[in-house]
Amino acid sequence: MKLLRYGPVGAERPGLLDADGIIRDLSGIVADIDGATLSPEGLARIAALDLSTLPRVEGTPRIGSAIARPGKFLCVGLNYADHARETGKEPPAEPVLFGKATTALCGPYDNVEIPRGSDRTDWEIELGIVIGTRAKYVSEAEALDHVAGYALVNDVSERRFQSERGGQWIKGKSHDTFGPVGPWMVTKDEIADVQDIDLWLDVDGERRQTGNTKTMIFGVAHLVHYISQFMTLEPGDIIATGTPPGVGLGMKPPTFLKAGQVVTLGATGLGEQRQLMVQA
């Protein structure tokens, strides 16, 4: 299933994309695409529906973040060896974890703001894991049992805020609109192999990133297992799993986003995003 949220900012409604590409309204079935809906019981309830009986959403509504109100928006840094090296770092021995404020969440086609005082706003296409059941001290063999599905994430970053303003990376990762998620969350049963998903990202129509999740240093199952050793993962939590090479920071010379530029990105089975850069 492809679950999504549509409607104006702050008033999104839950929906589902059917096999014909039609959005079906789920607001009579569930309150939102949140932790309760993403539980095995919630997903089974939706899967049992006759989609043809659900209201059809007409027109082309705005698409919001695929997940509503995640308790945690976690990110994994330097999870592709060639990306680590392009940033001047060695591949890590353990996953590098950091947080992204949940207020950074936005829709996949919303404008992305370049923060005031920014001169190093960068792009990062990533596979996002969405948790479906509570995970604490889970084994790697059991880790995927706790996953509801996957979504496309653009981990937008301000590199100067991230690395030169002291403290944690979260300062460079959390500006409003720095977390486009969607257009939908695909339930894990629709992904044949999560470690074989193609990823791509363009800036103004020029290819900047091309990758595949098979080249991750730490795979999806290991990440869920690993993170659950340090904190409890709850339904609806999002984990962005790292980006392949081709970010602006790694270009020679480094190249960053400016107002008026357009970023497009996509991944096998996860849909596509498009964002216009605007000045905050």
In the predicted model, what is the mean pLDDT of the chain? 96
Does residue 232 contact residue 198 with C-beta atoms inside 8 Å? Answer: no
Q: What is the mean pLDDT of residues 238-257?
A: 95
pLDDT confidence of residue 278: 98
pLDDT at 91 over 90: no
Q: Side by side, which strands form the sheet with 13-17?
A: 23-25, 13-17, 2-6, 185-187, 147-154, 125-131, 238-240, 73-77, 96-99
What is the pLDDT averaged over residues 31-49? 96
Query: pLDDT > 70: what percent of the chain?
Result: 100
User: Domain extents for the chain?
Assistant: 65-279
What's the pLDDT score for residue 170?
Answer: 94
Q: How far apart are CA 157 and CA 155, in angstroms?
A: 6
- pTM score, whole prediction: 0.96
Mean pLDDT of 101-124: 97
Mean pLDDT, range 99-113, rounded to an integer: 98
Segment 187-201, tens digit of pLDDT: 999 999 999 999 999
pLDDT score recorded for residue 85 = 82
Give the Å distances, CA to CA, from 100 to 72, 78, 169, 213. Answer: 8, 15, 9, 21
Residue 84's pLDDT band (cuts 50, 70, 90): confident
What's the CATH fold of domain 65-279? Fumarylacetoacetate hydrolase; domain 2 (3.90.850)
Q: What is the DSSP string of 52-89?
A: GGSPBPPS-PPB--SSSS-S-EEEEES-BHHHHHHTT-
If DSSP codes are grouped into helix, strand and coil, which group holds residue 179?
strand
pLDDT at 247 over 90: yes
pLDDT surpassing 80 at residue 89:
no
pLDDT digits (tens, 9 = 90+) for 120-129: 999 999 999 9
Please give the pLDDT value at position 88. 79
The mean per-residue pLDDT over the stretch 212-238 comes to 97
143-156 mean pLDDT:
98
Q: Residue 234 above 90 pLDDT?
A: yes
**What is the torsional sign of CA 89, 173, 96, 128?**
negative
Give me the mean pLDDT over the 242-252 stretch: 94
What's the confidence (pLDDT) of residue 134? 98
What is the model's pLDDT at position 189?
A: 96
pLDDT exceeds cutoff 90 at 81: no
Secondary structure letter of residue 91 according to DSSP: P
Q: Which two tokens stand for residue 240?
A: 């962005």
CA–CA gap between residue 201 and residue 247 (Å, rounded): 9
| Reported confidence tier of residue 236, pLDDT bands at 50, 70, 90 | very high
- Strand-pairing partners, residue 266, are 200, 272
User: What is the Cα–Cα distance from 172 to 163, expressed in whole angstroms?
Assistant: 8
DSSP secondary structure letters along 103-143: GGEE-TTS-EEEPTT-S-EE--EEEEEEE-S-BSS--TTTG
- pLDDT above 90 for 66: yes
